């Protein structure tokens, strides 16, 4: 099984290196082949919102940069991990711009999902999502917004499973992080075995 970690560490923010190592090690212990992309090191332009990836070059963004490569790696993964500082209840800029560039992976056509309108799938299989958010200190409002955002993105992205957890960086219990990653990755692994 393949796991892709999208590390949204900011240029001048919380250092996510130890968190990344912990996640990586736990995924490998659960039989995942892991690749991590430190997004701040890659040239990924902002989405233009032109929708050419839907009408002119279906499934492929017209911007020829590393965003295309991330998109291909993402759709070929079984598990997608968002590792990000929580910024106003959302993802870091680095992660947000990469996720915006994933729009070619869904269809421009719509369908109803539990009474709501969502885009149809372009592909038959999408990865499960585990989002790990880091705050400098506990903030219930930002945590709630982050978890809701991940849930909505998982629905739009047709993810078979998702989970979002927010940790306070100042007093993070790495065992809790390990347990979260282990439990979720085992769930994804069991689903893929069926």
pLDDT value, residue 114: 85
Angle subtended at Cα 190 by Cα 184 and Cα 194, rounded to the nearest 5 degrees? 145
In sequence order, the 6+-apart residues with CB closer than 8 A to the CB of 70 are 6, 37, 42, 44, 98, 101, 102
Q: How many CB atoms lie within 10 A of CB 7?
A: 24
Nearest to 32 by CA among 64, 63, 8, 3: 3
Locate 187 and state its tokens: 């769930």
Number of domains in the chain: 1
Cβ atoms 122, 102 nearer than 8 A:
no
Q: What does the DSSP 8-state code read for residue 182? A: H
Per-residue tokens: 171 = 């007093």
Three-state SS for 64?
coil
Other Cβ atoms closer than 10 A to 74 = 20
- Say which CATH number the domain at 156 has: 3.40.50.360
Q: Does 130 score more than 90 pLDDT?
A: yes
Which range has the worst mean pLDDT, 82-96, 153-167, 168-182? 168-182
φ, ψ dihedrals at 87, nearest 5°: -120, 110
Q: What is the pLDDT of residues 1-55, one digit of tens each?
A: 999 999 999 988 778 999 999 999 999 999 999 999 999 999 999 999 999 999 9
Residue 192 Cα distances to 2, 77, 79, angstroms: 11, 11, 10
In angstroms, rounded to a whole number, what is the distance separating the alpha carbons of residues 32 and 85?
24
Spatial separation of the C-alpha atoms in residues 28 and 138, rounded to whole Å: 29
pTM of the full predicted structure?
A: 0.94
Could you tell me which residues are beta bridge partners of residue 119?
A: 110
* Residue range of the domain that includes 95: 2-193
Nearest in space to 68 (alpha carbons), one of 93, 35, 101: 101
Pair 151, 163: CB distance under 8 Å: no
What is the structure's pLDDT at 14?
79
């Amino acid at each position: 099984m393949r796991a892709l970690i999208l590390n949204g560490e900011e240029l001048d923010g919380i250092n996510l290196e130890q968190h990344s190592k912990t996640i990586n090690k736990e995924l490998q212990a659960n039989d995942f082949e892991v690749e991590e992309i430190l997004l701040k090191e890659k040239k990924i332009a902002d989405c233009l919102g032109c929708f050419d990836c839907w009408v002119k070059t279906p499934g492929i963004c017209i911007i020829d940069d590393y965003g295309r490569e991330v998109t291909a790696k993402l759709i070929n993964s079984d598990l997608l991990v968002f590792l990000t500082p929580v910024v106003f209840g959302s993802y870091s800029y680095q992660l947000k711009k990469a996720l915006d560039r994933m729009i070619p992976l869904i269809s421009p056509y719509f369908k109803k999902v539990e009474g709501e309108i969502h885009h149809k799938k372009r592909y038959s299989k999408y990865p499960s999502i585990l989002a790990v958010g880091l705050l400098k200190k506990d903030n219930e409002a930002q945590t709630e917004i982050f978890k809701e955002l991940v849930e909505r993105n998982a629905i739009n992205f047709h993810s078979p499973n998702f989970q979002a957890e927010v940790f306070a960086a100042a007093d993070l219990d790495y065992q809790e992080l390990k347990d979260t990653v282990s439990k979720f990755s085992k769930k994804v692994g069991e689903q893929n075995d069926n």
